[in-house]
A and B are shown apart, each in its own frame.
Chain A
Amino acid sequence: MFETLQANLLSPIPLAFALGVLTRLMKSEFSLPKDLYTSLSIYLLFALGLKGGVELSHSTFAAIAKPAGATLFLGVLTPLIAFGVLRWLGRFSSADSAGIAAHYGSVSAVTFIAAQQFVQRVGAPAEGFMPTLLTLLESPGIHIALGIGAVQRARTLGASGDGSGSSVWHVLHEVLTGRTMILLVGGLIVGFLMGEPGWKAVNPFFDSGFKGALMLFLLEMGIVAGSRLGDLTKVGPFLLGFGILLPIVHGAIGVTLGHWAGLSVGGATVLGTMAASASYIAAPPAVRLTLPEANPTFSLTASLAITFPFNILVGIPLYYRMAQAMA
Chain B
Amino acid sequence: MTERQTMHTHPLKLVTVIAEPVLEGRLTSELRQLGATGWTVVEGRGEGSRGIHAAEIPGVNIRVETIVAADVAERIVQHLATHYFAEYEVIAYMSDVAVVRGDKYTTRSPEKR
Contact = CB atoms under 8 A, between A and B. Distances in A.
A219 B53 CA distance: 22
Nearest to A280: B58
A284 B26 CA distance: 16
A285 B22 contact: yes
A202 interface: no
A296 B87 contact: no
B65 interface: no
A157 B42 CA distance: 34
Interface of B: 20, 22-23, 26, 53, 55-58, 83, 87-88
A289 B56 contact: no
Contacts of A170: 26
Q: Which 6 A-B pairs have the closest CB atoms?
A: A292-B87, A296-B56, A285-B22, A284-B57, A288-B22, A300-B56
Contact of B55 (A289, A293, A296): A296
B22 A289 contact: yes
Interface string A248-289: 000000000000000000000000000000000000110011
A224 interface: yes
Interface in A9-59: none
A4 interface: no
B26 A289 contact: yes
Given A296-B57, A297-B53, 8 more contacts: A162-B83, A170-B26, A285-B57, A288-B22, A292-B87, A292-B88, A293-B87, A300-B57
Interface string A284-317: 1100110011001100100000000000000000
A296 B22 CA distance: 13
Nearest to B83: A162
A288 B20 contact: yes
6 contacts: A170-B26, A224-B58, A289-B22, A289-B26, A296-B55, A296-B56
